[in-house]
Structure 1
Amino acid sequence: MKRISSKEVYERTLQLLTERGVTIPAIAEIVYEMQSPYNKELTMAECIESVEKVLQKREVQHAILVGIELDKLAEQGMLSEPLQTIVETDEGLFGVDETLALGAVLGYGSIAVTTFGHLDKNKVGIIKQLDTKLGKGVHTFLDDLVASVAASASGRLAHNLRDEEEAALNA
């Protein structure tokens, strides 16, 4: 049985995101916007690092690979009806895209979950660009997956800040 290395999966995930117009700095900008009110010393470099760490998780990678593949199939008209129309038009009552993204965010705690809800509702930064299709293509899954990565990276930073604060108190 053929096995795919973690490095291959990670690299393919980054390649697909790039092909779809999503960069790590674009996601990090959202993370910065979400976390800077709570951490006045937060830097973009820390946000970028947090996004990279989230993207190294297999569960996140798998969700991105599946979501982008479904978006690409919808662009090509390759899904059967009624799924083709539902995904192609990002139908309002279709929640599978959010469900996939939410599954990936659950490992980062309630801060990540609530941040995901905020980002899903308010469509910040690159998420808004993907959701409003300012580019070309179908991004039914991708906008929610980007929100998931940003929310996870935000949750990760929030937990790290708490750990640092507690370590300083106990020193």
Structure 2
Amino acid sequence: MSLHLELKKEYNRLNDTKKYDIIIERLKERGVELVDIAKITYDLQKPYVKDVTLEICLDHVDRVILKREVQHAVLVGIELDVLAEKKLLSEPLLSMLLGDYGLFGVDEVLAFSIVNVYGSIGFTNFGFVDKSKPGIIGRLDTEGKEEGKCNTFLDDIVGAIASAAASSIAHKYAQ
């Protein structure tokens, strides 16, 4: 491999690590810790992987967030929620995001870009958590409607990361 390609590969790895750190900080600013996501992953995989632990789930959440295409989706979704809260989007988009309009669907489509990295298991897990709203997802969904916050994208992003991590675990530990 040429020196140029080696340097480019190292730059991309470091840049993904920097974006990972930014994402962790932005999630914390929005009230989401990685352990919150890992708990959902754990609940999704406990019936299927006997020896799964919260630590394993947290490791797989990290793996998901380190993926470049996941990072891009997370950054876009969080940014749109923040811009809506600051009323920096034009109508009718602003009202649709602030009201978490049920037929909007773009938030789920963005989440699909995360779960599709891990195949059909992630996709079906996402459908389940999107409907049932376990753990932090339910809090984000309610908080967005009651406290003037906009979590239209964030609740789906969290569900997608948890679902993708569950799929990653299923692929690794399937028997």
CA distance in structure 2 between the aligned counterparts of 1:109 and 1:86, rounded to whole angstroms? 29
- By how many angstroms is 1:109 displaced? 1.1
Aligned to 2:102: 92
SS in 2 for 1:133: helix
Q: State the superposition RMSD in angstroms.
A: 1.4
Aligned to 1:50: 60
Q: 1:101 aligns with which of 99, 111, 114?
A: 111
CA distance in structure 2 between the aligned counterparts of 1:156 and 1:6, rounded to whole angstroms? 19
CA distance in structure 2 between the aligned counterparts of 1:8 and 1:120, rounded to whole angstroms? 29
CA distance in structure 1 between the aligned counterparts of 2:61 and 2:77, rounded to whole angstroms? 18
Q: Which runs of 4+ in 1 moved over 3 A?
A: none
Aligned to 1:169: none
Percent identity of paired positions between Structure 1 and Structure 2 = 48
- By how many angstroms is 1:52 displaced? 0.6
Q: Where do 5+ consecutive residues of structure 1 fail to align?
A: 166-171
CA deviations over 1:37-67 (Å, ceiling 9, x no partner)? 1112111110110101101001111111000
- TM-score (norm. length: structure 1): 0.90
Aligned to 2:155: 143
- TM-score (norm. length: structure 2): 0.88
Number of residue pairs aligned between Structure 1 and Structure 2: 161
SS in 2 for 1:78: coil
Aligned to 1:121: 131
Q: 1:29 aligns with which of 39, 43, 68?
A: 39
SS in 1 for 2:119: helix
Matched letter for residue 90 of structure 1? D
